[in-house]
Chains A and B, each alone.
Chain A
Amino acid sequence: MSLRIIFFAGALLLISGSAWAAPLSVGLAAAKSNPIAPQMGDRISFHSVIRNDATVPLDGLIAWISLVQVNEGREQPVDLEDWSAHKAVTAASLSPGATLETDWPVRLIQAGAYRVVVSAVTRGGADLTASPLVGFMVLQKPVVESRRVLPIAVGIPLLLLGLILSRRLRGR
């Protein structure tokens, strides 16, 4: 039994050792210029640094940004179509020790709590390398405000109705 445990622990070490030796590393951080409390309509940006930690060049690098909403009961991946026109970056080759730095501009469309991640793969690599998750909150911005709509929606018909009534009274 103890031999089995030792063997299993050894296998785990081997697997995790291969993970530690992943050829890519991806760092991600929110831009310093981002607003402290972003709201709908704001534009924010994230900065990623992809580094080749291997000893050989890595060809066919593809990195892309993903966004998930994490509000309770509304957990879902977000379709970035409306959020960003810059969803991926490619590099033909990345030399050993070289880095690929990318800015990811995002326009905030919907209020909520979000996590953003940048993932990278290479043509020959079997594993996906993901950055740490970076979270942010988007505050609700009133888009159709009742305090603006109600006076117009009620006031204009009432005004016209008043005109009609005054015409009728004057006609008598």
Chain B
Amino acid sequence: MKSIGLIAGKEGGDLLLSLRGLGWLLTMAAVLSAFGLLLVSDTELSLLDNAQVVYDMGGIVTALGALLAVVVGTDAVAGERERGTLVSLLLAPTSRNSILLGKLGGQAIAWGIMYAIALPYFWAVGSTGQNLADGAISVALLGTPVVFGFGFLAMGLGARLDSVRSSLLTGLVVLLLSASPLLLGPSLRQSAIGRGFDAINPFSSALNGYDAVIIDSQTIVAQMPRLAITLVWLTITLWFASRSFRRISR
């Protein structure tokens, strides 16, 4: 347990204190700022558009969080291997699962910081609209398993693939595919293939949950089936990461 905390603290500290980690956070904040500034010039937003803005912000925060998780997760395994620091970590007197969970702790800190940075943006664009608090809670509830799942996926890919580049690229392609509902219009998602994809895609579940809570004013409790899909995703990626991490020999 202590080793998990130590690894998580080191990973989280890297993000908070290193120039590279701060650079990632700055990039995330810049994207959210750009979105917010785009809205300022629009004086014709109706009340429902305001809810739409909060929903969009929730989707963007989740996508950025998942992107950060892919980058941090890839760096945590494949990056350490390329830098030659992974072997010494594997030789430490602790189990592979403890190392994996410690790495997840680092990701949790990264997502927590990302979410904390996003909260003022939520307030800035959505405080005059509806369901802001419920929207922020739903992003935490439904977005967290999605983000952690992508972190596990990236760690698993980093353990299985030979280079940072290939594992990062694979993780990004999966993320792009999964986050495609952010770009697709509702009509495309209503097709048979779109509905089938929505039913199994954790990202879609999170987005549909945000839509239901923020725009349709449904309760968070009513989103439990959607939460279940994101938890299934988290479980599968945890299993994949755990199996892949055990196979690392160098």
List chain A positions with a Cβ less than 8 A from chain B.
40-41, 82, 108-110, 141-146, 148-154, 156-157, 160-161, 163-164, 167-168, 171
Known contacts A109-B48, A153-B124: A163-B22 contact under CB 8 Å: yes
- The reply to whether B46 and A40 form a contact with Cβ atoms under 8 Å apart is yes
Q: Are A153 and B128 in contact (CB under 8 A)?
A: no
A157 touches B46 (CB 8 A): no
Q: With A149-B37, A149-B39, A160-B26 in contact, do A143 and B129 touch (Cβ < 8 Å)?
A: yes
Interface string of B99-128 (1 = CB under 8 A from A): 000000000000000000100110111011
Residue on B with the closest CB to A155? B120
A143 touches B19 (CB 8 A): no
On whether the beta carbons of B22 and A152 are closer than 8 Å, the reply is no
- A144 to B26, Cβ gap below 8 A? no
Q: By the criterion CB–CB under 8 Å, are B128 and A156 in contact?
A: no
Task: Judge whether A141 and B39 touch: CB under 8 Å.
Answer: no
Segment with Cβ contacts to A, from B28-36, B73-81, B233-241, B242-250: B28-36
CA distance A156 to B40 in the complex (A): 17
The 3 closest A-B pairs by CB, nearest first: A153-B33, A143-B50, A152-B124
B125 with A149: CB separation less than 8 A: yes
**Bound CA–CA A7/B23 (angstroms):** 89
The minimal Cβ–Cβ distance linking B215 to chain A, given in whole angstroms, is 10
CB atoms of A157 and B47 under 8 A apart: no
Q: A143-B128, A148-B127, A149-B40 are in contact. Are A154 and B33 (CB under 8 A)?
A: yes
In whole angstroms, how far apart are the Cα atoms of A109 and B124 in the complex?
20
Do A82 and B48 contact each other (CB < 8 Å), given the known contacts A156-B33, A160-B26? yes
| CB-based nearest A residue for B53 | A144
Give every chain A residue within 8 A of B17 (Cβ-Cβ). 167
Closest chain-B Cβ to A45's Cβ sits at a distance in Å of: 17
Known: A149-B39, A152-B121. A157 touches B19 (CB 8 A): no
* Chain A contacts for B124, CB-based, 8 A: 148-149, 151-153
Give A171 to B22 CA distance when docked, in angstroms.
Answer: 14
A40 with B47: CB separation less than 8 A: yes
Set B26, B53, B127, B128: member contacting A157, Cβ < 8 A? B26
Is B82's beta carbon under 8 Å from chain A? no
Query: Can you offer 8 A-B residue contacts whose CB atoms are under 8 A?
Result: A82-B48, A144-B128, A148-B125, A149-B125, A156-B29, A156-B32, A157-B26, A160-B22
B162 contacts across to A, CB distance below 8 A? none
CA distance A143 to B22 in the complex (A): 32
A160 with B40: CB separation less than 8 A: no
Cβ–Cβ contact B49 & A143, under 8 A: yes
Given A149-B125, A164-B22; A156-B120 close (CB under 8 Å): yes
Q: Which residues of A contact B22 (CB under 8 A)?
A: 160, 163-164, 167
Q: Which of B18, B37, B48 contacts A153 (CB 8 A)?
A: B37
Say if the beta carbon of B63 comes within 8 Å of chain A: no
Rounded to whole angstroms, the CA-CA distance of A148 and B39 in the bound complex is 12
In Å, the complex CA distance between A108 and B53 comes to 18
B142 within 8 A of A: no
Interface residues of B in 1-57 (CB under 8 A from A): 17-19, 22-23, 25-26, 29-30, 32-34, 36-37, 39-40, 42, 45-50, 53
A164 to B32, CA, bound (A): 18
Residues of A within 8 A of B32 (CB): 153, 156
Nearest-Cβ distance from residue B111 to partner chain A, whole angstroms: 17
User: What chain A residues lie within 8 Å of B37 (beta carbons)?
Assistant: 149-150, 153
Closest to A82 in B: B48
Whole-angstrom distance between the Cβ of A57 and the nearest chain B Cβ: 41
Residues of chain B contacted by A153 (CB below 8 angstroms): 32-34, 36-37, 40, 121, 124
Q: Looking at B32, B49, B53, B120, which has the most chain A CB atoms within 10 Å of its CB?
A: B120
Q: How far is the CB of B118 from chain A (nearest CB, A)?
A: 10
Considering the chains assembled together, what is the distance between the CA atoms of A82 and B49 in angstroms?
11
